[in-house]
Structure 1
Amino acid sequence: MIIIRPRINDFYNVPFSQEEVDFAIPFLDEDIPLYVDPFLLWKSPSMQDNSLHTVLVNSFNSLGHNYIKGNTNDSINILIQSSECEEVGLGNSKTKQGKKISLKESSKILELFKNIPQIHKSGFTHFEEIQLFVENISKDRVSDITCNIIKSWLIDYTISQCDKHNIPIEKSKINVFDYKSGKFKEEETWLPENPNTKSPIIFTPKRWLRFIPYINYEEYFEKYFLKELGGQFEEPLSRVEILDYNRYNYDVVETYIKIKERNSETLKNDPLFKQIPILSSKRKFRTIAKLPTGKTENADKEYEKNLCQILASVLYPHLDFASEQSRTENGVHIRDLIFYNNQSYPILKDLYELYNCKQIIFELKNVKEVENEHVNQLNRYLTNSFGNFGIIFTRNKPPKKVIENTISLWSGQRKCILILDDEDLKLMCQLYEGKQRNPIDVINKKYIEFTRLLPS
């Protein structure tokens, strides 16, 4: 079975949407473009999260203190080992295989405990400060170090979520950081498995995830350093020069961190998907309604761009958006939009059971009149990989001969292709605005209308 951007629940055929679960659903062949932000653990009202943050910071500070005491190699190697956590699958990798920090980078981080008197004396309160002192250390490293140090808790969390949602688990051997000894040890446990690589998978709570950590170099530079200190220098400093300045002027960073703590009331996690505002959906529909049909002045591209954003938002959370402009295996054709079928709504469950519909393909056609060739093109995409159901969005109602073609496809191949137009899209946007009914009911309405045309 070929699934576009497959997730673990798609492979195991466990129907739930991202909205319904507490964790970020892992992809099987690429990372989730989010990161664990340890500041969210610090700020959390949960005593459990606060305790995990204490374990995280104490463990990191312990590495530094051991480094100062002369356990140089052990501390360096443990930090290197903690700098990549492939099991959680967070970041921007397209292969789910990351690269650990170098010996040089690890040494530079641990040297902070020697070279900065305040850190030497008291350690870090927020270890993500290292981004402000060491080059090439950013959000992915902060996230991976966090996950590795609290991995024991994440394993227990993953097992509990698998039990709750009936996700299969397999016996696994995995390196886990031991808080008491301050070292990594191999443990045998039970975890979900990536069917492609046979490697274990660890879940992370959505409440800890952000696209950019609350403490990060870019925000520090733009909103604090330039504003408070930029005028002191005759010429702008490079990033490396600013990092050097921070190491020799720790009080500057310390003040910045205290400001961040005081202003953290509104800090929240980032959602894995954010719907566009109602006003934005209305503007995008008006843009579509004014577009000419065809390709004049890239009207087809504008149609696809605006319609993609509308559909991804109005159909959420019942349909999770999977991909846009996805090529077929031979690379010849491009499918416009693909959604995961989470079976989270009656019509979606029916489509899964009747048409083996695991993912739903949407074809977007900015044409004056949809033709049989457009229907036949979508029909060619409907294979065992996706199932036998698809949707065409176009500008105007289809002619009778095209409707008859869709009926013939159902009669001969048991494939169902629905055709929706601007009026249906307008109704979807109105339901999205009104919030009293779900926009996906428009698809349900078209499906019922289609079934009434079928031969008995």
Structure 2
Amino acid sequence: MIIVRPRINDFHSISFTQEEVDFAIPFLDEDIPLYLDPFLLWKNPSFQDNSLHTALVNSFNFLGYDYIKGNAIDSINTLIFTSECEEVGLGNSKTKKGKKISTKEATTILELFKNIPQVNKSGFTHFEEIQLFVENISKDRISDISCNLMKSWLIDYTIDQCQKYNIPIEKSRVNIFDYKSGKIKEEETFLPQNPKTGQPIIFTPKRWLRYIPYINYEEYFENYFSKEVNKQFGEPLLRVQILNFNRHNYDIVQTYVKIKERNAESLKNDPLFKQIPVLSTKKKLNTIIKLPSGKTDNADKKYEENLCQILASVLYPHLDFAKEQSRTDNGVHIRDLIFYNNRSYPILNDLYNDYNCKQIIFELKNVKELENDHINQLNRYLTNSFGNFGIIFTRNKPPKKVIDNTISLWAGQRKCILILDDEDLKLMCQLYQSKQRNPIDVINKKYVEFTQKLPS
């Protein structure tokens, strides 16, 4: 079974949506494009999250104090180990393989405990501050260090979620940071595994994830340093100069962090997918309605761009968006949109059972009149990888010969292709706006109409 952008639940044919579960559903081939932000643990009212943040910061500070006590080699090696956490799969890697920091970078970080008096005395309160002192340390490193230092808890969390949703787990060996000894130890446990690589998989709670950490260099520079500090210099400083200035003026960084703490009330995690507002849906729908059919002035591209955003939003959470513009294996054809079939709605469960529909392909055709060639093109995509169901969006109602072709495909190959037009799209947007019914009911309506035309 070949699935586009497969997730662990898709491989095991387990039905749940991203909206339903507490964790970010891992992809099997690539990272989740989010990062764990320690500040969310500090800010969340949960006693558990606050305690984990304290343990996280204490663990990081332990490495620093161990370093200045003379255990430099152990501290450096431990920090290098924690700088990459492949099991959680957070970030932007397309191969789920990352690169650890260098010995030089690890040493520079740990030297902060020697060179900054306040850190030497009291340690860090938010260790994300290291982004403001050390080059090449950013959101991916903060996230991975956090995950590794909390890996023991994350393993227990993963096992609990697997038991809750019947996700298979297997005996695995993982290296963890032992909080009591401050050392890396190998542990045997049970975790879900990537079926392609055999690598253990560890889940992370959605409530801790953001695209950019709350404390980060870019925000510090734009909203604080350039306004409050840089004016004392004759010309703008380079990044390396700013990092060096911060190391020698830690009180300025502390002031910035205190401001961030006071303003953290509205801080929230970032969702893996965010629907566009109703007003945006209206604007995009109006844009589509006004577009001419065909390719004049890139009308076909504008149609696809606007319709893609509309469908991804109005069909959520019942359908999780997988990918747009996905090429077939031979690279010749491009499928416009692909959604995961979570079987989270009655019709979706029927499509899964009746047409082996694991993912739903949407073809978007900005043409005046749909032709049989368009139907046949989608039909070629409907293989065992996706199942025997697909949807075409087009501008106008299809001619009878095209409808007859879809019925013939069902009669001969048991393949179902639904055709929706601008009027159906308008209805979906109206339902999205009113919230009285789910927009996916329009697809259900078209499916019922299709089945009524089938030969008995």
TM range (shorter): over 0.9
The residue number in structure 2 matching 1:354 is: 354
Post-superposition CA distance 1:244-274 (Å, at most 9, x none) = 0000000110000000000000000000000
Alpha-carbon distance, 1:428 to partner: 0.2
* Secondary structure in 1 matching 2:87: helix
Superposition RMSD in Å? 0.3
The residue number in structure 2 matching 1:143 is: 143
The residue number in structure 2 matching 1:406 is: 406
The residue number in structure 2 matching 1:84 is: 84
The residue number in structure 1 matching 2:288 is: 288
Question: Percent same amino acid at aligned positions?
Answer: 82
Alpha-carbon distance, 1:230 to partner: 1.8
Alpha-carbon distance, 1:231 to partner: 1.1
Post-superposition CA distance 1:8-30 (Å, at most 9, x none) = 00000001000010000000000
The residue number in structure 2 matching 1:106 is: 106
Post-superposition CA distance 1:277-298 (Å, at most 9, x none) = 0000000000000000000000
Separation (CA, whole Å) in 2 of partners of 1:36 and 1:388? 39
The residue number in structure 1 matching 2:155 is: 155
Separation (CA, whole Å) in 2 of partners of 1:275 and 1:360? 19
The residue number in structure 2 matching 1:205 is: 205
The residue number in structure 2 matching 1:274 is: 274
Match of 2:192, as an amino acid?
Answer: P
In the alignment, structure 1 residue 256 sits paired with structure 2 residue 295: no
Alpha-carbon distance, 1:453 to partner: 0.1
The residue number in structure 1 matching 2:15 is: 15
Separation (CA, whole Å) in 1 of partners of 2:156 and 2:327? 39
Separation (CA, whole Å) in 2 of partners of 1:322 and 1:383? 17
Separation (CA, whole Å) in 2 of partners of 1:187 and 1:65? 25
After the TM superposition, which residues 305-384 of structure 1 pair with which residues of structure 2 at under 5 Å, given as runs? 305-384=305-384
The residue number in structure 2 matching 1:446 is: 446
Alpha-carbon distance, 1:322 to partner: 0.2
Post-superposition CA distance 1:325-350 (Å, at most 9, x none) = 00000000000000000000000000
Alpha-carbon distance, 1:65 to partner: 0.6
* Secondary structure in 1 matching 2:326: strand
Alpha-carbon distance, 1:233 to partner: 1.0
Match of 1:286, as an amino acid?
Answer: N
Separation (CA, whole Å) in 2 of partners of 1:288 and 1:230? 47
Give unmatched runs, 5+ long, in structure 2: none
The residue number in structure 2 matching 1:179 is: 179
* Secondary structure in 1 matching 2:146: helix
Count matched residues. Answer: 456
Post-superposition CA distance 1:58-103 (Å, at most 9, x none) = 0100110111111110100000000000000000000000000000
Alpha-carbon distance, 1:374 to partner: 0.1
* Secondary structure in 1 matching 2:323: strand
Match of 1:213, as an amino acid?
Answer: P
In the alignment, structure 1 residue 42 sits paired with structure 2 residue 23: no
Separation (CA, whole Å) in 2 of partners of 1:260 and 1:23? 26
Separation (CA, whole Å) in 1 of partners of 2:236 and 2:176? 44
* Secondary structure in 2 matching 1:98: coil
